[in-house]
Structure 1
């Protein structure tokens, strides 16, 4: 068995160098959780550069609204998708490919995620004199299992297209700075972001064999609608 090349850290990206956005024109892009948070501006930015964007989410009204606003680019569509459903994600990828001019899947942004505002009952202490209460792990299912489904499918569809410079095979996960710091009262969310960093670190050792680039974006405090209505005006990690 050939030995894998050693992973080498080449330093941080020099953000002062302008990026060549022309390469995005005509590319097929999937954005999960694309109706709000960082997903929506991401989808808008890709569409503005001429990429064919599939915006996936559960909120049909908001998702269709974003896609409708982007009609002027004629290259955006909304696909209803529950990322915890394998079948939904397969349909999402198929729709994105069918919509693209080259019938391809070039860039996948695994952005869908929820936080403790959606309910994290892993830590709350139960009455020691009563039966223990089974916690709901919805945050784990969306943030981790859903992203693993997205990764598995992205690899599958990436490999259906030529591995040449004219195409792309790029996978990007929305992580968090909580994957490097302690985040009290944020149990499931923090655990999933640590786990996604682990997925990136594991996948990067082999993804090059399939011509796939994998990235983990770790924002810190970002105001978004990931929180519930009563505290959405507050910052979100």
Structure 2
């Protein structure tokens, strides 16, 4: 697998036109695609002429997709075998018999690791969030890489988009488990962009009104945000960011944050927070570590 060379480039121009005609005839897998952001991504790809495989626990609303345009495959992303079946189905049912774009979108939110402190005895934290938000993303990544390698010798032909969160970049009082998983998604992208044989990018949504969040909570925080000159981000802007990554073959190793329009008129922006100035201590350490060819020598099995 020929690796793409990662180099720091100027911030992504988020206001230029997106050429969605490039998506016509492509095959796309979207995990967590039956509702919320995943459903919006799937719908946008179908409208652009792509064939889409929707992987989720429940099917999308009836009548939303024609079978010629999209198929649903039941999948718990935390189960390896079920994700294998999704990718196999995608190849078998794809008009081109290959996979071009994978969006690792499936994820959940939930209680914090330090919830339940009034219990008589400490209870083991629920790890379902890490099973889905980290293990599930790792499974999707491995399968995407395996298929991309066998489909083309050009590493730019495969595109993996990881869906993280702005919580992977900022401090909050939210769930520590959720924040850890989203920092983890950021770590996957930042490592693989330097050695993967395919394009890998990510997005980091700010608060968006989707089924993953309670309406009452969002109504409250929206009012608080407006007093600070901010607002929620929008689903349509998240879709635009995903389509930009999918259609722009020059994009590799980038993260686009989905933000309030007060911060960017496009509703998304390149925060440029995954690199460091070359002469800074972190920049020098990153350059040194990135120059090492680890192979199997950097890790010891006990």
TM range (shorter): 0.7 to 0.9
Q: What is aligned with 2:207?
A: 221
Alignment of 1:92-107 (within 5 A): 92-107=86-101
Q: What is aligned with 1:29?
A: 28
Is the 2:209–2:215 Cα contact (8 Å) retained in structure 1? no
Structure 1 residues 159 and 9: CA distance shift in structure 2, 3 A: same
Alignment of 1:101-180 (within 5 A): 101-116=95-110, 120-127=111-118, 130-164=120-154, 168-180=157-169
Structure 1 residues 44 and 6: CA distance shift in structure 2, 3 A: closer
Alignment of 1:6-45 (within 5 A): 7-45=6-44
| Two-structure CA RMSD over aligned residues (Å) | 2.4
Is the 1:173–1:217 Cα contact (8 Å) retained in structure 2? yes
How far 1:178 sits from its partner (Å)?
0.7
* CA–CA distance in structure 2, aligned partners of residues 14 and 39 of structure 1: 24
Unaligned runs of 5+ in 2: 222-231, 234-302
Is the 2:108–2:212 Cα contact (8 Å) retained in structure 1? yes
* CA–CA distance in structure 1, aligned partners of residues 78 and 35 of structure 2: 18
Is the 2:112–2:177 Cα contact (8 Å) retained in structure 1? no
Q: What is aligned with 2:192?
A: 203
Structure 1 residues 87 and 221: CA distance shift in structure 2, 3 A: same
* CA–CA distance in structure 2, aligned partners of residues 232 and 184 of structure 1: 15
Q: What is aligned with 2:176?
A: 187
Is the 1:225–1:232 Cα contact (8 Å) retained in structure 2? no
Q: Deviations over 1:125-156 (max 9, x none)?
A: 5358x432111111111111100000001101
Aligned with 2:82 (options 65, 76, 88): 88
TM-score where L is the length of structure 2: 0.67
How far 1:185 sits from its partner (Å)?
3.0
Unaligned runs of 5+ in 1: none
Q: Deviations over 1:17-75 (max 9, x none)?
A: 21221211111100000011211110001001111100111113xx262xx3221x821
* CA–CA distance in structure 2, aligned partners of residues 48 and 5 of structure 1: 30
* CA–CA distance in structure 1, aligned partners of residues 154 and 5 of structure 2: 23
Task: Provide the secondary structure at the position in 1 that maps to 2:162.
Answer: strand
Is the 1:114–1:142 Cα contact (8 Å) retained in structure 2? yes
State yes or no: 1:48 paired with 2:47.
yes
Q: What is aligned with 2:247?
A: none
Q: What is aligned with 2:68?
A: 74
Structure 1 residues 6 and 50: CA distance shift in structure 2, 3 A: closer
Task: Provide the secondary structure at the position in 1 that maps to 2:160.
Answer: strand
